[in-house]
Every structure is written in C-alpha cells, then in structure tokens.
Structure 1
C-alpha cells in the first residue's frame, strides 16, 4: 500500500511499497477514506523522528478486517478512530496510509449523516478534550454514565483558552452537554463560531485585561481552566482569571514553571492524548510517560459515549478546509501549521476519491 512515512532528514514522503498491517487482538484494519491534520503531526517529526514509521493520528474509513476478540465491529462498518503516528513502539500505527490499524477502544461507528471527511476530523479532539476535562491529571470534572447523558456540572464556569481551535470547540460542546457553563478566549472575529458551539461568553486574548475581565465575569469563582493554546502568555492570562480560592489549570504541553509557581493555590499539569492507548510513551525528555491504565479504560468508556452522542447529533465537527490530492498533499498542509496560516478550521485530506 501507499503510506506517508517519515524520512531520515525529518520530513514526510510517500512510500509505495509499505506492507498492509494485520490487526492483532482488540484491533481493526480500516480502508482509510479521509484523514485530518493536526499540529502534533508536525511537532512529533521535529521532536522525535522515527524514520520509516507511518504518520498521522486522525482517520475515518471502512473496516475491512477484525482482530481476535473483536465483537463491536465487523467488516463493512463505517468508523472514525484515533491512533498514534510515528509511534516508536509500532512503526505501522499511523493514519496516513491507504490502510490503517485502529484500536477498538478508540474507535466508534459513525452515522450515515456524517461523511468520512467530517468524521476524520474529530477523533484526536474527542480524546484530548475528554482526558483534559474528565481524567487525572486533567480537571477531573464530573462525567455522566453512558446510559444517562445528563448535565452534572450544575452550571459551574469552565474556561477554554483557545476556544476557536478544534479541541476548543469540542471541549466547549462537552461542557455544554454535561451541564457546565463554558466560556472561552478567542479572537473577536471567532466569537460567533465559538458561540455556535456553546460558549456563553467570549474574551479577546489580545486584551491586556483579558484575565481580569474573565475574573470579573465569573464573580471571582472560576476554578477550572483548559488551555488549548499552551504558551507562557496564555498560562499567565489563565492564572489571572482563576478566582482567589485557587483552582486547576490543564494544558497540552509541559507547563511553564516560571508561571506555574506564581500561584501556589493553582494546580497546573498537562495531558497527552497518546496515553489513551494504554502503552508507555517512548518519547524523549519530558514527553516520555509510563503506561496509564486508567486512560485506556477511560478511552473505552468515552468512545462508547461519543458514539451515542454522534448518533443523537449532539456533537459536530470543527469547520473544515479540504485539501484534495491524497497522501502527497499532506506535507504541504502541515507546512501551514509552521507558518501560522491555519486558524479556526481543521485541515482534512480525502484519501479515497
């Protein structure tokens, strides 16, 4: 099969003779119909290149083969899934290929009302937002059971910094569904977008008083912040927004210690979506992490709940920009992350015309 793999010089190229992987226990093999691009696809090849490994995290397609013990899926099912591109433990694991493996626990059936192009854009945002909001070391907000998707948040404020990112709009939807009051930071041009996904108030992160404005809006009661931007500037702003009783700040990369210790009443930590695979993250430096069994267990429950929400049309995808041309167009799309031209939309690439 054709697949997009990493090269020795830290770039991606299309290889035409990659073996089609075989699904092991608890795995499914999918004919990939569409993939989406994420900043992590570029960051990981820069930070921890694995020459010859298949890249990509997000996919949607049709199941063509199931592994031992798989009962939830069968050949012919339409699915979305999240995997781990450039995986040091499994060079075949990426999504950027004509055929890709997916873990049953991190996959779900997609309704006929959802196209492959729409569905492929959701998986990584779904698990990232889920871990950040509902699992340690995230905010650990109350999450409903699978059979009772009802609001448990009692209207409590939760700030999503970077509300116009794909993870931000997904987190906002979850907070709204589960009874919280989501507020976001974004550019004023994206206020309508964020409000359409459930944000009750939007704050301009360019403003020097952004943190103070949020603190006033929440009556000094804000205790939970999810930062999808992950910079020293946004962390400082979020710390200013958290009320005087303290709280929890969660982000997507190691926290800036210079800001972290400016408030001892705020617990700051970060999550990596990769840990939902339930295997050690064999990455260098601070990004390496041991196996977290609880995250694998959460993933299984979470994607079951997501499947229910998708079929009830309670969650939807981020705005999309479709890049035609198949696998060979993906490196050009990833360059857009480097030059900062991707804003308030998700890049997707159809693999099957």
Structure 2
C-alpha cells in the first residue's frame, strides 16, 4: 500500500509498505478521507523517532477486514478514528495511508448523512475538546463519564473558549452546548476569535464573542460574563493563557491548555491553574512523548470508548447525523502525494502566530490561510 512515511531530512515521502493485518479486537480500515492536524507537520519537521514512521492521525473509511473477537463491526461498515502516528518515540501506528488499523472499540460509526470528508474532521479534535471539558474542567458530560468527579463546587456556568474558530474550539462549542450543569442549567459560552468568524460563532450558540486582538478583550469578557468559571485555551501560546486567567471569577479556577510549554507562565493568576494533557492518553497505551513517558491509562481509554459511543449513536433528534457538527471541510486537491507540499506548508511547524502572512502565501486558491475549517484529502474513492 501507499503511505506517507517520515524520511531523512525531517520530511515525509509517499512510499510502498505492507498492508497491516488486524490482530485480535482490531479492524482493518480502507481509508477514503483523512484530516490534517497541526501535529502532523510538527512531528515530521521535529521527529520523535528515526525515519520510517507512518504520519497522520484522523481517518475515515470502510471496514475491509475484521480481526479475531470482533463482533461489533462488519466488512463494509463506515468508520472513523484516529491514530498516534509519528508523534511518539515508541512505535505507534499512523493513519496517512491507503489502509490503517483501528482497535474495534475505538472506532466511530459514521452516521448515514455524514460524508467521509466530514467524518475525518471529527475524531482527534473532538476528543481533545471532550477531555478538556469533561475531564480537566470537570463539567458534566452528555454521556457516561468514567472520570466524573463525585463532587463539584457550585460555580457560575460561564465558559470561555479562546480561539474558538479552531477545530478544537468549534467542537468544544458543540459539546458545551450539549451539556448542562448539575442543576440543569445550560452553560453560557463566551469566545474569542478573528472578527471575520464572529457571525459564525454567534450562529453556533456562543453568547458573545470578542476580538482577541483587542487590548481590552479580557476586561470585556469579564464584564459581559460576570467572571469566567471554566476556560479552554485552544492556542496556548505566548501570553494567551495569562490573559485568559484575568477573566476568571474571584475564586479562580482551571484553564485547559492544548500545549505543554508554548505559553508563558508569567502573568497567570495565582488562583488559576493551567492543566495540560496529551490526547493520546485516550488511546490507552504508554506514550514516550515530548521527552517523557506517559503510562497507559485504562480510565482515560474507557472515557474515549464512551465518548466514541456517544458520537456513534448520532443525534437524538436525527440519528443520521453526529450529535455534534463536523468541522467545515476544505477539500484539498491531490492525495497523499500533495500533503507535504501543500497542507504542511499551510499549517506550518511552529506556533500559530508564526504562520505565513497573506503576502508570503502561494497563489493557488486552496492555499489561502486556514481559518474555521479542516484540511481534508481523498485517499480512495
């Protein structure tokens, strides 16, 4: 099969490799569409392991073969999922290929009205958002949560999602809107984003959205909300976390951050605690990652299983759709061979603030800056 594999020179190339065989409780997926995430170019340019690793995380396709003990899937079923790929020093499988392996209970059923392209935008970023909201921040989940906190303090139901037009931010809005406080109240969602995305976010159910480039946005958020109780920093760079901390209620709280070290600790309020976790913990395997080791966590894996069941069941009002809206798709031309030369250039390999400016970008229409959408490729039609 063809696969995008890390190569000498901190790059990746499409080459031939063996089709993997599903082991017990695994399924072989023929990949139709794949979705890009910033970690894909990041760990290609800054490899965690020697060359030879299949890159990529988000995939959607059909079940091609079933391993021993699998009773929940049949050949031909439409599924989505995510893999760790080249982000770990220890071996973990990747997804940017013609075929990939998923563990049977970590595959998501794609409802009838959802396309492969839409499904490929969901797995990794929706789980990142779910872990942030329902594990780290501790709000009530709309599905059975094995990591639910037994007691919660009574706090105003005010959530701030910083950089809400990112994939994680858009999916966090969807999940927060489907949740309620222990008292049954809906969460009030506040957001920051580029002005061009404000109307989209308001239509998605955000109560108020603020321009993150404004000097006064933290004060404006505090004034509009009466103080934030929960926050998700979808960028976690430079002073973003510190500014978010200034919006909190007097008793402080927790900010879920998506990066471990790219944000400045200086300026973060003493009573506000930023908490990071690796989405890969949800796969339930030990990870050698970012210079350290994260042990396998059966409880975090159990959370993923329940969350993916929630997605697989579809919306209560329309089971042919996901219970949350997929990310808008930018379908990129070409296939595996175009990922490095196009998508990796668009996403960059560093901080979001260092991505190419309009003046530096290429002229092709599919190479415009990414905002409020997910880059998706076809692999097999």
TM-score (norm 2): 0.85
Query: How far 1:261 moved relative to its partner?
Result: 7.0
**How far does residue 258 in structure 1 lie from its aligned partner after superposition?**
4.6
SS of 1:102's partner is: strand
**Residue 314 of structure 2 is aligned to residue 309 of structure 1:** yes
Deviations, residues 129-164 of structure 1 (Å, cap 9, x unaligned): 1111111xx1121113359xxxx9998111111100
The count of corresponding residues between Structure 1 and Structure 2 is 343
1:239-250 matches, within 5 Å, as 239-250=245-256
Q: Is the 8 A contact 2:142 2:178 kept in 1?
A: no
C-alpha contact (below 8 Å) 1:275/1:296 kept by paired residues: yes
Contact 1:55 1:96 in 2 (8 A): yes
Partner of 2:347: 337
1:67-120 Cα shifts (integer Å, max 9, x gaps)? 2222221211001111111154335x1110000111223321111211111111
Cα deviation for residue 305 of structure 1 reads 0.8
Residue 294 of structure 1 is aligned with which of 291, 296, 299?
299
2:5 and 2:53 in contact (8 A); partners too: yes
Check the 8 A contact 1:159/1:183 in 2, yes or no.
yes
Structure 1 position 254, deviation (Å): 1.1
1:323 and 2:328 correspond: no
Q: Report SS of the residue matched to 1:232.
A: coil
Residue aligning to 1:29: 28
Q: 2:234 matched to which residue of 1? A: 228
| 1:30/1:65 contact within 8 Å kept | yes
- CA distance in 2 between counterparts of 1:256 and 1:54 reads 26
Aligned 1:1-353 pairs, distance under 5 A: 1-16=1-16, 18-50=17-49, 51-86=51-86, 87-90=88-91, 93-135=93-135, 138-145=136-143, 156-179=157-180, 180-220=187-227, 222-255=228-261, 258-259=264-265, 262-285=268-291, 288-310=293-315, 311=319, 313=321, 314-331=323-340, 332-338=342-348, 339-340=355-356, 341-353=369-381
Q: Kindly indicate whether the alpha-carbon contact (under 8 Å) linking 1:29 and 1:64 is maintained by their aligned counterparts in 2.
A: yes
> Is this contact kept in 2: 1:34–1:61, CA < 8 A?
yes
- Structure 2 regions of 5+ residues with no counterpart? 146-151, 181-186, 349-354, 357-368
* Structure 1 unaligned regions, length at least 5: none
